[in-house]
Amino acid sequence: MNHINNSQQLAQTLLPLSEFITRRDNFFAQMPENSIAIFKAASEVTRSNDTEYAFCQNKNFYYLTGFNEPDALLVMIKGEYNQAFIFCRDKDPLTEIWQGRRIGTSKAKTNYGFDDSFIIEEIGGSLPELIKNKEHLLYCQGENQAFDMQVMAWLTQVKKSVKQGAKAPTNSIDCAAIVHELRLIKSDSEIAIMRQGNKISCGAHQRAMQKTSAGKFEYQIEAELLHEFTRHGARHAAYASIVAGGDNANILHYTDNNDTLKNNDLLLIDAGAELAGYAADITRTFPVNGKFSVEQKALYELVLKSQNAAINEVKIGNTFAVLNVLVNEILTQGLIELGILTGDLTTLIKEKACKKYFIHGLGHWLGLDVHDVGDYQVNTEKQQCRKFEVGMVMTIEPGLYIPLDDDSVDKKWRGIGIRIEDNILVTEPAITHSGYENLTAAAVKSVADIEKQCIK
């Protein structure tokens, strides 16, 4: 069978039960003695009346379980023996005829490696019992107000039984940061999944370049992206695709995608597939008619130069702060050469003058969430930029945006918005020589390659 068509099975193979057991072991290792941790699955979200949005699992819950159903609870107990329990929906033949198959408690236990499983309706009676006599209570605080209140209600119930000799936890801990730190460093399995998700996503960008022409609607190009994601087994986009022709690219989170594409405009596409929960996040900008104008090319090559320079500096020990300095220098110098900024180079660099046109961050962590978890600043004051480590995946995405109504700039530059975004893995230098692997290198980005790709 075609390798890429088999992505879903591949994802299952690459994320075996042992991966989730290792993740839970890593979390157990960071729980204090005599503690209980509780994680809640996501619930379905109503779109209108009796229809729901496509289900998206809570990513911390998914990271620790691989369990992709709503209305479930993971309970982890660290004591003499570590134990992990799942509470989930039971099998129900009639409901399943209408709403789809359920895993049920029996398969939840055996297929997902839990010590025991219970029906979700039992949490009211069981959780206070499980919380009783533990010293520490861990959960992700502030994620879901109703869940916070439910945990507090269980705790209150335990406190009421203190008179009968039970002890209630004296310490309640927000454990989100523990899971987030684990999620930040990707395992070999996660990297393999992300490579595959990116391969599919790069194919979608290539297809979009081929299918784009003046007169089409932006949403028609969005359809080409989704077609390519889905036919290769990635059933959802990782986030709402941005398909922004001309001046629409200057709206950073443009998702209306309902304009017609114009002959002399650029088209900015920011889109990535989600595969087995993992996001790709790629931006390419290319000419609707397949040929960059002089101004478009000049700005594009400047963004590309800064992006390539930043990517080349992704390696162990470097930081986003270092990369930002480099990009600021390159963009400022380039904008002066193009006559868009005027003044003294050193002063303009110091003032970060290019930020008028490069209005967002240079990049972010990437993984189960598109803007993935994990601190950017470390040390106690959270002021020191975090050093890159092997297994981190990040985006590098500089851009330049000159809106149509910006009359401080020569008319010829107006209405151009450009971003170029790749997904970069930090590697052992001995493995790649460079210290990084560009997971999205298959989506062409040089002017010559893009113009070739755009030929119909």
**Residue 239 touches which of ligand GLY, Mn ion, none (Cβ within 5-8 Å per kind):** ligand GLY
**Residue 190 touches which of Mn ion, ligand GLY, none (Cβ within 5-8 Å per kind):** none
Distance CA 348, CA 336 (A): 9
Among 239, 320, 358, 401, binds ligand GLY (CB under 6 A): 239
Q: Which residue in 50, 80, 381, 407 is the catalytic one? A: 50
Nearest CA to 303 out of 454, 456, 450, 452 is that of 450
- Any idea what the Cα angle at residue 324 is, between residues 322 and 329, rounded to 5°? 105
**Residue 318 touches which of Mn ion, ligand GLY, none (Cβ within 5-8 Å per kind):** none
If binding is defined by CB under 5 A, does position 395 make contact with Mn ion?
Answer: yes
Shortest Å, Cβ 57 to ligand GLY = 20
Instruction: Give every CB contact of residue 129 below 8 A, 6+ residues apart in sequence.
Output: none
If binding is defined by CB under 5 A, does position 69 make contact with Mn ion?
Answer: no
Q: Which residue in 371, 376, 410, 428 is the catalytic one? A: 371
Active site residue 407: no
Q: Return the range that interacts with Mn ion (CB under 5 A); candidates 10-18, 166-174, 273-281, 424-432.
A: 273-281
Active site residue 112: no
Give the per-residue contact string, 421-450, with Mn ion (x = CB under 5 A; - = no): x-----------------------------
- DSSP codes of every residue in 265-323: -EEEEEE-EEETTEE--EEEEEETTSS--HHHHHHHHHHHHHHHHHHHT-STT--HHHH
Distance CA 73, CA 122 (A): 11
Q: Which residue in 270, 313, 372, 422 is the catalytic one? A: 270
Shortest Å, Cβ 282 to Mn ion = 7
Among 190, 222, 228, 281, binds Mn ion (CB under 5 A): 281
CA end-to-end span of the chain = 29
If binding is defined by CB under 6 A, does position 228 make contact with ligand GLY?
Answer: no
Active site residue 281: yes
Site residues for ligand GLY, 416-435, by CB under 6 A, read 421
Give the per-residue contact string, 384-413, with ligand GLY (x = CB under 6 A; - = no): -------------x----------------
Which is closer to ligand GLY, CB of 252 or CB of 326? 252
Could you give phi then psi for residue 167, rounded to 5 degrees? -110, 145
Site residues for ligand GLY, 350-379, by CB under 6 A, read 370
Nearest CA to 66 out of 77, 78, 57 is that of 57
Shortest Å, Cβ 421 to Mn ion = 5
R_g (Cα) of the chain, nearest Å: 25
Active site residue 92: no
Distance CA 167, CA 161 (A): 8
Active site residue 371: yes
3-state secondary structure of 230: helix
Distance CA 279, CA 255 (A): 18
Shortest Å, Cβ 370 to ligand GLY = 6
Active site residue 253: yes
Among 69, 190, 222, 270, binds ligand GLY (CB under 6 A): 270
* Count of residues near ligand GLY by CB under 6 A: 6
Distance CA 444, CA 49 (A): 43
Distance CA 403, CA 416 (A): 7
Q: How many residues does the chain have?
A: 456
Nearest CA to 365 out of 182, 201, 230 is that of 182
Shortest Å, Cβ 423 to Mn ion = 9
Which is closer to Mn ion, CB of 228 or CB of 421? 421
If binding is defined by CB under 6 A, does position 281 make contact with ligand GLY?
Answer: yes
Q: Return the range that interacts with Mn ion (CB under 5 A); candidates 182-190, 211-219, 295-303, 418-426.
A: 418-426
Shortest Å, Cβ 281 to Mn ion = 4
Contact 278, 8 (CB under 8 A): no
Angle between helices 145-160 and 123-131 (to 10 degrees): 60
Active site residue 421: yes
If binding is defined by CB under 6 A, does position 69 make contact with ligand GLY?
Answer: no
Pairing of strands 116-119, 83-88: parallel
Q: Return the range that interacts with Mn ion (CB under 5 A); candidates 44-52, 221-229, 258-266, 390-398.
A: 390-398
Which sign does the torsion angle of CA 334, 340, 345, 348 carry? Answer: negative
Active site residue 364: yes
Dig out the tokens for 349 from the structure: 């660099």
Instruction: Give every CB contact of residue 93 below 8 A, 6+ residues apart in sequence.
Output: none
User: Which residue has tokens 């081929």?
Assistant: 210
Active site residue 433: no
Q: Which residues bind Mn ion (CB under 5 A)?
A: 270, 281, 395, 421
Q: Which residues bind ligand GLY (CB under 6 A)?
A: 239, 270, 281, 370, 397, 421
Q: Which residues are catalytic?
A: 50, 253, 270, 281, 360, 364, 371, 397, 401, 419, 421
